A and B are shown apart, each in its own frame.
Chain A
Amino acid sequence: MRIEKCYFCSGPIYPGHGIVFVRNDSKMFRFCRSKCHRHFKAQHNPRKTRWTKAFRKAAGKEMTNDSIFEFEQKRNEPLKYNRDLYINTVQAMKKIDKIRLKRENNFWKNRLRAQRKQNLDNVETELAKNINLVSDKSVKEVIKQKAIEKAQLKAQKQKKQQKKDMVEEEA
């Protein structure tokens, strides 16, 4: 028994599920469900279908090359059964999984880092509008301060712009 990977969405295919298509050049295509199968028959490119793992990896939204992926590899030559080895493997798998998750979360966090700053600024302006509802005084101060700074910046900009215009007019 083996959990295969769906050709289209790269999801797991448990035993007893899905369809295998064998092409005339003897290449096998496994599909986890009819959705993936239908997409394949319609000749859609999994690298362009947003919800697939293939797209995510190709678009850099998921971690692609990391040393942790070398642990899980399809091995064609089986080793002779060794009980200790298997026990170790099972224990190691758990640890590896934990580390992998951690690394993936990190990756996503880094990816969204730039957005994060923008998000927080938006939140700040929103709070500035409803400042009367904010209960925490320290927070209120912070927000007020920020709002004032913003207004100042805006004013400066306007002045600059006016100056420019005047210069242009004269010229």
Chain B
Amino acid sequence: MSYNFKTIRPVMPAKDMINVILSKTQRKTPTVVHPGYDISRIRGFYMRKVKFTQETIHEKIDAILQDFPKLDDIHPFYADLINVLYDKDHYKLALGHVHACRNVIDNIAKDYCRLLKYGDSLYRCKMLKRAALGRMCTTLKKLTSSLNYLDEVRKHLSRMPAINPFERTLLVTGFPNVGKSSFVNNITNANLDVQPYPFTTQNLYVGHTDYNFVRWQVIDTPGVLDHSLSERNPIEMQAITALAHLKACIMFFLDISETCSYSIDQQIALFKDLKPLFKNKPLLLVMTKIDIKKFEQLDPIDQQKLQDVIQSENVFYSQLSNKSGEGIALVKEKACNLLNEWRQNLKPEQLTGGNPNLLREESILQGVYIAQPKRVNQNRMPVIPQVVGKLNRPTLKDVQEQNGGAGVFSFPLQEHFLLDNPDWKYDAVPEIMDGKNIGDFVDADILQRLEELEKEEEMMDQAEVEDPEEDAREEMLLNTRDQVNKKREMIKEEHHMKMKQQVKLHRPNLEDAKEDFAKKGIDTTFLEQRAQKFAAKKVIQKQKRQQHSSDDSDDNDMDIEGNERNQRKGRDALSRSRSRLREISRSRSRGNKKVLTAQEQAMERMSKKIQRRRRNEAKAGDGDTKIDCKMPKHLFTGKSGIGKQSRR
């Protein structure tokens, strides 16, 4: 039993609906089919489309039918209201039409699917599907007017005020222009249109107010005229519906001043006409516009008439003025009390319509009594205990101020330390020493343990088995080894130096050579002979040089070069050795296989050695690659960008 019609979905006009459905079919079903396919596949393809369309339409129509309220299922107040506003018959017909359309479409789909089962070619199946969809769409087109009507109903329904038929309500009725809307404006937050012309209010309006901590609805109705039911227009009918169905306290407004252009007589007549509607409901007769004319100021005849009505109907009455505000609160109170009393006599099912939540609410509200405590102590003073009240020493704040203020003064936390000896308070405690944490060693009985440790150490010292022999031997051997190694190194160095020096010494002067050999005890006569030979050779060479051109043999060139070099530097081992060798080999080739003397052998060996070394020295080995600069600045500066990285 909902009273909120805002959740009805918008109803599409028929044209739009057709477009939507067809485009959905196109999108959501497979689109490709070829004549070469299996016939069952083709049939399935087209049947799918037909079925899909039918299902979509079915869904959409279902949505409409579900959303719109069924007049039999809702509260009779709303059913009547809808009837009044939209004509029950028209409403039912529209919905019925839509419902019937749905069935028709289902049948179309069924028929054509049956026919499709026997379609024997792609073309035939296609035509069948086309026919099916076409017929469905025509049926939908016929719904245009119904759908339009339903959409209008929906729009109007959604704008209806949410009147809860089960909430406490005050219903305000009377002739037009009597002051009903002004009253509702006064009581609630509503902002209703108040104008001097009649039928300003044309619909029911709801305002909410509070009384006794509970929410109350106040319903403003359009003015009612005095004629028979069949003559009433839809606007008045709304008011009548509200009067008929809502369980509310009815407040009949009567304009004493007759400024609503209706006399008191007419109003009383209306009152009597509407009496059957007021049956079994709390009724309050409210006399309005007393600021213009008071009840006492009325003609005694009118006064008498009113008195008669009140007495005869046995009805409660009250006065108010909307403009001045006089009596409004009283009226409200009276009306609310009346309704509350009346509600107490009703059964809870009647009040709540069987809704369990509302039942619970009701039971709670009826049992609520809010108790207020008696206030004994109006003034509560602060309580400060006597001890604290008087301080002799200066507070910390005073100390702070003395020593420079908040930012300057820092309270020494050590002041309140409780140590064995108060002198220790301001000690700077060491934490780390020699890579260790002092805190790890601190122990109450550390001295005792240290003593034990030292004793242990003494014992260990005594028990140690030293091997003095072994130690002495070790010392001796290692020392000698060091000495020996040093000597070896020295010998190596000397040898190295010698080898280098020997290269230099290889071509000494004749005198030096003689001396040298004399020291070593070697015969020097062969030296003089050799020197003579050399001298002779030189002369011959010179002559040859003068005769021949530059296309001479390599030997001579080499010789020349060698000699020149020799002359320049005086020490060219290669040339010397070569020349030496040549001499020896020449002597050999002439058949004089000389048995070389010791010196000559030594010479030979020496020359070979030097050649060997020179030969090796002349070539560059693996270790000879020398890179002076491994990272030249010009190759390693700058950003790389997107460039290659093959060069590093």
Q: Is the CB of B483 within 8 A of A135?
A: yes
Residues 107 to 128 of chain A near chain B (Cβ within 8 Å): 116, 120, 123-124, 126-127
Partner among B420, B423, B484 whose Cβ is within 8 Å of the Cβ of A133: B484
Docked Cα-Cα span, A166 to B456, in Å, equals 61
Q: Is the CB of B427 within 8 A of A71?
A: no
Q: Is the CB of B430 within 8 A of A86?
A: yes
Docked Cα-Cα span, A34 to B78, in Å, equals 80
Q: Which chain B residues border A12 with CB–CB below 8 Å?
A: 435
A153 at the interface (CB under 8 A from B): no
Docked Cα-Cα span, A50 to B612, in Å, equals 48
Q: Is the CB of A130 within 8 A of B484?
A: yes
Q: How far is the CB of B217 from chain A (nearest CB, A)?
A: 60
Give a binary string over B407-423; 1 marks a CB under 8 Å from any A CB, 0 the rest.
00000000001011101
Q: Is the CB of B438 within 8 A of A86?
A: yes
Give a binary string over A84-109; 1 marks a CB under 8 Å from any B CB, 0 the rest.
01101110111111010010001000
Residues 304 to 329 of chain B near chain A (Cβ within 8 Å): none
Q: How far is the CB of B122 from chain A (nearest CB, A)?
A: 67
Residues 31 to 54 of chain B near chain A (Cβ within 8 Å): none
A41 at the interface (CB under 8 A from B): no
Docked Cα-Cα span, A74 to B481, in Å, equals 49
Q: How far is the CB of A146 from chain B (nearest CB, A)?
A: 10
Q: How far is the CB of B239 from chain A (nearest CB, A)?
A: 73
Docked Cα-Cα span, A89 to B437, in Å, equals 11
Interface of A is mostly: helix
Q: Is the CB of B420 within 8 A of A95?
A: no
Given contacts A1-B431, A99-B453, A116-B474, contact A78 B420 (CB under 8 A): no
Q: Which chain B residues border A89 with CB–CB below 8 Å?
A: 438, 441-443, 446
Q: Is the CB of A71 within 8 A of B480?
A: no
Q: Which chain B residues border A126 with CB–CB below 8 Å?
A: 481, 484
A67 at the interface (CB under 8 A from B): yes
Q: Which chain A residues border B439 with CB–CB below 8 Å?
A: 2, 75, 78
Q: Is the CB of B484 within 8 A of A86?
A: no
Docked Cα-Cα span, A120 to B456, in Å, equals 33
Q: Is the CB of A67 within 8 A of B478?
A: no
Q: How far is the CB of A92 from chain B (nearest CB, A)?
A: 5
Partner among A72, A85, A116, A127 whose Cβ is within 8 Å of the Cβ of B480: A127
Q: How far is the CB of B412 from chain A (nearest CB, A)?
A: 15
Docked Cα-Cα span, A96 to B429, in Å, equals 21
Given contacts A2-B439, A67-B456, contact A82 B480 (CB under 8 A): no
Q: How far is the CB of B344 from chain A (nearest CB, A)?
A: 65
Docked Cα-Cα span, A106 to B232, in Å, equals 124
Given contacts A86-B442, A93-B436, A123-B477, contact A133 B488 (CB under 8 A): yes
Docked Cα-Cα span, A77 to B454, in Å, equals 27
Given contacts A1-B431, A12-B435, contact A93 B441 (CB under 8 A): yes
Partner among A2, A80, A123 whose Cβ is within 8 Å of the Cβ of B431: A2
Q: Which chain B residues border A90 with CB–CB below 8 Å?
A: 430, 433, 438
Docked Cα-Cα span, A116 to B424, in Å, equals 55
Q: Which chain A residues border B478 with CB–CB below 8 Å?
A: 123
Q: Which chain A residues border B453 with CB–CB below 8 Å?
A: 67-68, 71, 96, 99
Docked Cα-Cα span, A127 to B453, in Å, equals 45
**Which residue of chain B has its CB nearest to the CB of A121?**
B477
Docked Cα-Cα span, A67 to B459, in Å, equals 14
Q: Which of B430, B432, B457, B477 has the most CB of A within 10 A?
A: B477
**Which residue of chain B has its CB nearest to the CB of A74?**
B440
Q: Which chain A residues border B421 with CB–CB below 8 Å?
A: 83
**Which residue of chain B has its CB nearest to the CB of A99?**
B457
Give a binary string over B470-508; 1 marks a CB under 8 Å from any A CB, 0 the rest.
100110111011011001100000000000000000000
Given contacts A67-B453, A120-B473, A133-B484, contact A85 B446 (CB under 8 A): yes
Q: Is the CB of B484 within 8 A of A75?
A: no
Q: Is the CB of B442 within 8 A of A136?
A: no
**Which residue of chain B has its CB nearest to the CB of A91?**
B450
Docked Cα-Cα span, A126 to B454, in Å, equals 44
Partner among B417, B427, B429, B477 whose Cβ is within 8 Å of the Cβ of A124: B477
Partner among B417, B423, B449 whose Cβ is within 8 Å of the Cβ of A71: B449
Given contacts A82-B420, A86-B429, contact A73 B440 (CB under 8 A): yes
A134 at the interface (CB under 8 A from B): yes
Q: Which chain A residues border B423 with CB–CB below 8 Å?
A: 83
Docked Cα-Cα span, A157 to B183, in Å, equals 138
Docked Cα-Cα span, A97 to B432, in Å, equals 14
Q: How far is the CB of A10 from chain B (nearest CB, A)?
A: 13
Docked Cα-Cα span, A106 to B457, in Å, equals 12
Docked Cα-Cα span, A139 to B427, in Å, equals 64
Q: How far is the CB of B453 from chain A (nearest CB, A)?
A: 7
Q: Which chain B residues border A167 with CB–CB below 8 Å?
A: none
Q: Which chain A residues border B447 with CB–CB below 8 Å?
A: 88, 92
Q: How far is the CB of A4 from chain B (nearest CB, A)?
A: 9
Q: How far is the CB of A119 from chain B (nearest CB, A)?
A: 8
A79 at the interface (CB under 8 A from B): yes
Docked Cα-Cα span, A68 to B429, in Å, equals 25
Q: How far is the CB of A36 from chain B (nearest CB, A)?
A: 18
Docked Cα-Cα span, A136 to B478, in Å, equals 13
Q: Is the CB of B440 within 8 A of A75?
A: yes
Q: How far is the CB of B222 from chain A (nearest CB, A)?
A: 73
Given contacts A89-B441, A99-B453, contact A127 B481 (CB under 8 A): yes
Partner among A95, A97, A136, A139 whose Cβ is within 8 Å of the Cβ of B454: A95
Q: Which chain B residues border A171 with CB–CB below 8 Å?
A: none
A3 at the interface (CB under 8 A from B): yes
Q: Is the CB of A85 within 8 A of B457?
A: no
B1 at the interface (CB under 8 A from A): no
Docked Cα-Cα span, A3 to B432, in Å, equals 7
Q: Which chain B residues border A80 with CB–CB below 8 Å?
A: 419-420
Docked Cα-Cα span, A99 to B254, in Å, equals 117
**Which residue of chain B has its CB nearest to the CB of A98?**
B457
Given contacts A3-B432, A136-B480, A139-B476, contact A83 B427 (CB under 8 A): yes
Q: Which chain A residues border B449 with CB–CB below 8 Å?
A: 71
A81 at the interface (CB under 8 A from B): yes
Given contacts A75-B442, A80-B419, A86-B442, contact A97 B434 (CB under 8 A): yes
Docked Cα-Cα span, A139 to B457, in Å, equals 37
Docked Cα-Cα span, A99 to B452, in Å, equals 13
Q: Which chain B residues border A72 with CB–CB below 8 Å?
A: 436, 440-441
The 8 A-B residue pairs with the shortest CB-CB distance in the complex, in nearest-first order: A133-B487, A83-B424, A92-B450, A123-B477, A133-B484, A72-B440, A1-B431, A89-B442
A-B contact pairs, 19 of them (CB 8 A): A12-B435, A72-B440, A79-B442, A81-B427, A85-B442, A89-B438, A89-B442, A90-B433, A92-B446, A92-B447, A93-B441, A95-B450, A97-B436, A123-B477, A124-B477, A127-B477, A127-B481, A133-B483, A135-B483
Extra A-B contacts (17), CB below 8 Å, given A90-B430, A127-B484, A139-B480: A71-B446, A73-B440, A75-B443, A79-B444, A81-B424, A82-B420, A89-B442, A90-B438, A92-B450, A97-B434, A99-B457, A116-B470, A130-B484, A134-B480, A134-B483, A135-B483, A142-B476
Residues of B at the A interface (CB closer than 8 Å) are: 417, 419-421, 423-424, 427, 429-444, 446-447, 449-450, 453-454, 456-457, 464, 470, 473-474, 476-478, 480-481, 483-484, 487-488
